[in-house]
């Protein structure tokens, strides 16, 4: 059974810092990995999708990497802003096209 873990569970940083969110998964037989952002009480916004054959994806200030063999992914956020405050969720897609999520990292960026 696939298990996804995200560390840290919560993070508070001052504005402008670069930061790294971590995600690990137990079964390396995945199709791809997706990072999401969730604002309080809202749905999920897809940030980046990394195919299993890829090593990283970039979108603006966000960069996500994937090391399938070690079961790890990181989400790098450059020059953090207060508007980045949200919960960030990592999910892997395995057989059957179902997403298995981690518990999320709650990020607070202080002005």
Partner 1 sequence: DAGVTQSPTHLIKTRGQQVTLRCSPKSGHDTVSWYQQALGQGPQFIFQYYEEEERQRGNFPDRFSGHQFPNYSSELNVNALLLGDSALYLCASSLGGGGNEQYFGPGTRLTVT
Most distant CA pair in the chain, distance: 43
89 binds partner 1 (CB under 8 A): yes
**Tokens coding 89:** 């969720």
Sign of the dihedral defined by the CA atoms of residues 111, 62, 59, 108, in that order: negative
100 binds partner 1 (CB under 8 A): yes
7 binds partner 1 (CB under 8 A): no
For partner 1, the binding residue among 66, 93, 107, 109 (CB under 8 A) is 93
Using the contact rule CB under 8 A, the part of the chain among 12-20, 31-39, 64-72, 78-86 near partner 1 is 31-39
98 binds partner 1 (CB under 8 A): yes
Nearest CA to 90 among 13, 2, 14? Answer: 2
């Amino acid at each position: 059974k696939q298990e996804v873990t995200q560390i840290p569970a919560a993070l508070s940083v001052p504005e402008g810092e670069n930061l790294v969110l971590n995600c690990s998964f137990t079964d390396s037989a995945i199709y791809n990995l997706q990072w999401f952002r969730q604002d309080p009480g809202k749905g999920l916004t897809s940030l980046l999708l990394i195919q299993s054959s890829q090593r990283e994806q970039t979108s603006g200030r966000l960069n996500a990497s994937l090391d399938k063999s070690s079961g790890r992914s990181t989400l790098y956020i450059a020059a953090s802003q207060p508007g980045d405050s949200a919960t960030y969720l990592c999910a892997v897609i395995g057989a059957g096209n179902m997403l298995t999520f981690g518990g999320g990292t709650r990020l607070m960026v202080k002005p």
